[in-house]
Amino acid sequence: MEKQQLQMKRFFNEISPENQNLLLKNGLEINAKEGTYLFYEGDFPEHVYLIRSGKVRLSKMTSEGKEFSVHLKQRDELVGEVGLFNEMSISVTAEVVDNATLIRFDRHTLEALFRQNGEIAVAFMKWFARHTQSTQAKFRDLILCGKTGALYSTLIRFSNSYGISKEEGILINVHLTNQDIANYIGTTRESVNRMLNDLKKSGILSMDHGYMTLHDIQYLKNYLHCGDCPVEICTI
């Protein structure tokens, strides 16, 4: 029997059913096809989006003009930035990578809800804090742990966000190419090929049609000297 490895704390699940309904009534439901861009890096934000189905990838452009993937958001998570409330430009680009149903909220509606409903306001505050900490932790791993550590960190993050527990290990239930992984750690596909092949030879992981199974996640954690940080911070 398959089961979700981790019950993640996601924004929408942290508020009561009554406030979930209230939030949905105050947003606009939209359908976005794969390849749709919700906003671009450098724009000034106008909306926050709640994902009801599908996936949205957040990315940045490097000074060399290369795309660097930062997060991959899924059902019941929010896509947006705190800049919505302080008139700062957006630091990432949001692209729908799996046909999505979204609830779109504008700033004025959210501010009115915050004034009226403390639970919703606190849930947004917690989400902003977790999102910021997760991003900071990801960049810390990239800077301090080198390319190998960055790969291991990214695999652990994917397992926390999309992992399904199986007898043979943890299946990362999202299709990933070596180029996709390279974009998440800011390196070349050839480097990722080499590092993944080393892990395959050692029996740490295996690949099947773009889906990865981690057979020894503790090996990755030991390399990084993983501490006891909240699992919500160690997500993709």
Using one digit for the tens of pLDDT, what is the confidence trace for 185-197?
A: 989 999 999 999 9
Residues in the chain: 236
* Dist. CA 48–CA 13, nearest whole Å: 17
Question: For the residues of 47-96, what is the DSSP string, one character each?
Answer: EEEEEEEEEEEEEEE-TTS-EEEEEEE-TT-EE--GGGGTTPPPSSEEEE
Please state the separation of Cα 32 from the chain's center in Å: 18
How far apart are the two ends of the chain, measured CA to CA in Å? 25
**Contact (CB, 8 A) for 152 and 204:** no
Residue 113's closest CA among 204, 38, 48? 48
pLDDT band at 2 (very low <50, low <70, confident <90, very high): very low
**Domains of the chain by start residue, with CATH:** 3-131 (2.60.120.10), 145-224 (1.10.10.10)
Question: Percentage of the chain with pLDDT > 70?
Answer: 94
Helix (H) or strand (E) holding 173: none
Q: Any idea of the CA torsion for 44, 48, 54, 60, to the nearest 10 degrees?
A: 30
- Tell the residue number behind the tokens 């030991």, with chain if given: 222
Residue 51, φ and ψ in degrees, nearest 5:
-85, 120
**Contact (CB, 8 A) for 67 and 59:** yes
Model confidence over 186-234: pLDDT tens digits?
Answer: 899 999 999 999 999 999 999 998 899 999 999 999 998 877 677 778 8
**Contact (CB, 8 A) for 75 and 52:** yes
> What pLDDT, on a 0 to 100 scale, did the predictor assign at position 4?
45
pTM: 0.88
Average of per-residue pLDDT across 3-20: 77
- Tell the residue number behind the tokens 């652990």, with chain if given: 156
